[in-house]
Chains A and B, each alone.
Chain A
Amino acid sequence: MTSREKILNQVRQNKPVAIPLPQNITFATVTEPERLPAFVKSFTSAGGVVSIVPDFTTIGQELQVLFDQPERVMNTIPAVGYGLAPTDAIAQGHILANLEVAVVTGSLGVAENGAIWVSVENIPTRVLPFICEHLVLVLPQSKIVGTMHEAYAILPKSFPDYGVFIAGPSRTADIEQSLVIGAHGPKRAHVFILENE
């Protein structure tokens, strides 16, 4: 008997009584007018930075002030108009080892916890939002939902090959519980929320 059969047989024999899967439970949500302020509060409490801007061009202008040379910035959103666009899909993320800034689209935001969904559809290689020193996310305000339940209701049932909720800069508190921003991933997470998109 293979281990697979052995495990499945023993599970079959020993499993407790099944109960139905809870379905269609309604959880309280964050109401529409509260979503933006709630999102801003969550993201900033996690150590992130939030700017609310009217359009893509403003993001480009602000990036220019923050990072004076465009070659420091890998920009995946043409409308932002600042930084260098990745030419092709990047086969080896290793070449990004010294990347300073990445500008990436967030396709969904969650008000209750400040999480932003980023998937392979928006990045040329999976490691991009982790390996850069500063992560810049761009999120239309209309894409902010109240809770995680609403987020999963919107995400496609056939998931992208890889996707991640990002809620701030990377962090650790492993040494004596003192919070340090910038563990292995970005030291800064900055989200630009587009008001009019």
Chain B
Amino acid sequence: MHNEHIIPTDHATAAEVFLQDEERANWHDKALWFIREKRDVATKQIPDWELLRETASQIKQNVLGNLDNYLEQFEQNALQNGIKVHWAADAAEHNQIVLNIIQQHGIQKLVKSKSMLTEECHLNDYLLENGIDVIDTDLGERVVQLAKEPPSHIVLPCIHKRKEEVGELFHIHLGTEKGASDPAYLTEAARQHLREKFLTSDLAITGVNFAIAETGGFVVCTNEGNADMGAHLAKVHIACMGIEKIIPKAENLGVFLRLLARSATGQPITTYSSHFHRPAKGQEMHLVLVDNGRSVQLGRKDFYNSLKCIRCGACINTCPVYRRSGGHSYHYAISGPIGAILAPNMDMRKNADLPFASTLCGSCTNVCPVKIDIHNQLYKWRQVLGEEGYVPATKKQSMKAMGSLLANPTLYRIAGKSGRTMMRLLPGLANNKAMNPWAKQRDMPAPPKESFRDWYLKNKKQHD
């Protein structure tokens, strides 16, 4: 359920609201950094980590450069496997296709496992409007569904919620004890509640992590086992995927499955990596291939790299802006740095603020398992949005100033010195909330008396 009206339009404004609850904001920041650290530990255990990333990136480059051929090859093999393949040019067509299948079977209620694509298409809203009851079965997704909110993170849908809030939601909707907030107790309650749904639903929708051109099958990864519980107990299984999810060969899964969970949560692999190739006897299996702007992004030479994304969430966990602004501030189905480069492709006007929700520190690029140059793309979107006239005037001015500063080393050095002097003499200015939106809710660090450059030159002289 996507309540557009509660989502403020501008990232900085929404972030301000998020930061008002300081305790929550601090917890959110720490929880995500903790996951980032687990990712670091997991990657250090693989001697070939960098080789894996490079290989994954090249495989994806190969895919994007041959995407039409791979799509046709995949379709042909999937059809041969007995999977019904559908093509959707946009979100509306995707939703229509799914609804048609549901209605053909006279089904009223279905279970759905995690699929960011269906979030992107707002499938739940559409099905509800058409009288279909959709039950999200991933625990985090069920929590946000009960709260009538969209997920705030692609891997951790309810990372913005505290356990007491989950307890209250479950008390209201599942009848758990008032005030109970123990995660084990709440998880058990959800298990029982959703098991009944699995056993009584004739149709299951899942996402797709990888679709294999050579074999015509697809792979779905979960830790909870919800995709499998849904798909195996239903008469009809619909899997929905963006066209960029294709990989050429099954052996490429070796590369991607080694990268995905380690990057996402620091696990060496998700608990379940399910390979669907043919429907079970008496079952019907559908696969919907969705474009929804991807073929346009493919043609943007500065941005097509974003289509390599395997949705691990690492760039989100590491992002200092995301950690301190929360996923809902991004007002797009996919939040964080990757969302901020995908969103403007869909709607430049509505999402013009998102590429500015970044410090361009490059941490996202450093962790990305498929080596997307995320921070460069954010920077480039700023230029494009500026040229197309979508950038707010204040941002335009500072961008120009920044641009000429970086282009002129002398000016840069002077600006550095004067910046430091000004901050020492007038700290209130840098902290002025009206002039510097990022000074809101936090104090600027004390400026160093000496810049690194000055320090380096002085020390170099001493040692020469």
Cβ-defined contact, A162 with B277, below 8 A: yes
B59 surroundings in chain A (CB, below 8 A): 21-22
Cβ-defined contact, B268 with A27, below 8 A: no
Cβ-defined contact, A175 with B186, below 8 A: yes
Cα–Cα, bound, A175→B181 (Å): 9
A140 surroundings in chain B (CB, below 8 A): none
Cβ-defined contact, B62 with A151, below 8 A: no
Cα–Cα, bound, A159→B277 (Å): 7
Chain B residues with a Cβ closer than 8 Å to the other chain, count: 92
Cβ-defined contact, B275 with A164, below 8 A: yes
Q: What per-residue 1/0 map shows which CB atoms of B415-455 lie under 8 Å from chain A?
A: 00000000000000000000000000000000000000000
B280 surroundings in chain A (CB, below 8 A): 125-126, 161-162
Q: What per-residue 1/0 map shows which CB atoms of A1-44 lie under 8 Å from chain B?
A: 01110111011111111111110010110000000000000100
Cα–Cα, bound, A197→B55 (Å): 36
Cα–Cα, bound, A27→B249 (Å): 17
Cβ-defined contact, A175 with B139, below 8 A: yes
A53 located at the interface, meaning its Cβ lies under 8 Å from any Cβ of chain B in the complex? no
B392 located at the interface, meaning its Cβ lies under 8 Å from any Cβ of chain A in the complex? no
Cα–Cα, bound, A143→B62 (Å): 33
Cβ-defined contact, A93 with B67, below 8 A: no
Q: Contacting B254 at CB < 8 Å: which of A14, A18, A148, A172?
A: A148
Cβ-defined contact, B35 with A7, below 8 A: no
A153 located at the interface, meaning its Cβ lies under 8 Å from any Cβ of chain B in the complex? yes
Given contacts A162-B276, A164-B274, A164-B275, is CB(A184)–CB(B226) below 8 Å? Answer: yes
B257 surroundings in chain A (CB, below 8 A): 148, 165
Cα–Cα, bound, A161→B88 (Å): 26
B172 located at the interface, meaning its Cβ lies under 8 Å from any Cβ of chain A in the complex? no
A130 surroundings in chain B (CB, below 8 A): 225, 228-229, 232, 272
Interface size on A, as a range, is 35 or more
Q: What per-residue 1/0 map shows which CB atoms of B232-259 lie under 8 Å from chain A?
A: 1100000000010000111101110110
Cα–Cα, bound, A21→B156 (Å): 32
Cα–Cα, bound, A47→B263 (Å): 20
Q: Contacting A158 at CB < 8 Å: which of B34, B51, B215?
A: B215
Q: Contacting A166 at CB < 8 Å: which of B51, B138, B271?
A: B271
Cβ-defined contact, B87 with A7, below 8 A: yes
A contact residues vs B (CB 8 Å cutoff): 2-4, 6-8, 10-22, 25, 27-28, 42, 46, 89, 91, 93-94, 97, 110, 112-115, 125-127, 130-131, 147-149, 151-153, 155, 157-178, 180, 182-186
Q: List 25 A-B contacts (CB under 8 A).
A: A15-B64, A16-B301, A21-B59, A27-B51, A27-B52, A46-B271, A91-B281, A114-B268, A125-B232, A125-B280, A147-B258, A152-B250, A161-B277, A162-B274, A166-B271, A167-B271, A170-B223, A171-B223, A172-B223, A175-B161, A182-B191, A183-B226, A184-B224, A184-B226, A186-B225
B contact residues vs A (CB 8 Å cutoff): 31, 34-35, 46-48, 51-52, 55, 58-59, 61-62, 64-68, 71-72, 87-89, 93, 137-140, 143, 156-159, 161-163, 166, 183-184, 186-188, 191, 194-195, 198-199, 215, 217, 223-226, 228-229, 232-233, 243, 248-251, 253-255, 257-258, 265, 267-282, 289, 291, 295-296, 298-299, 301, 304
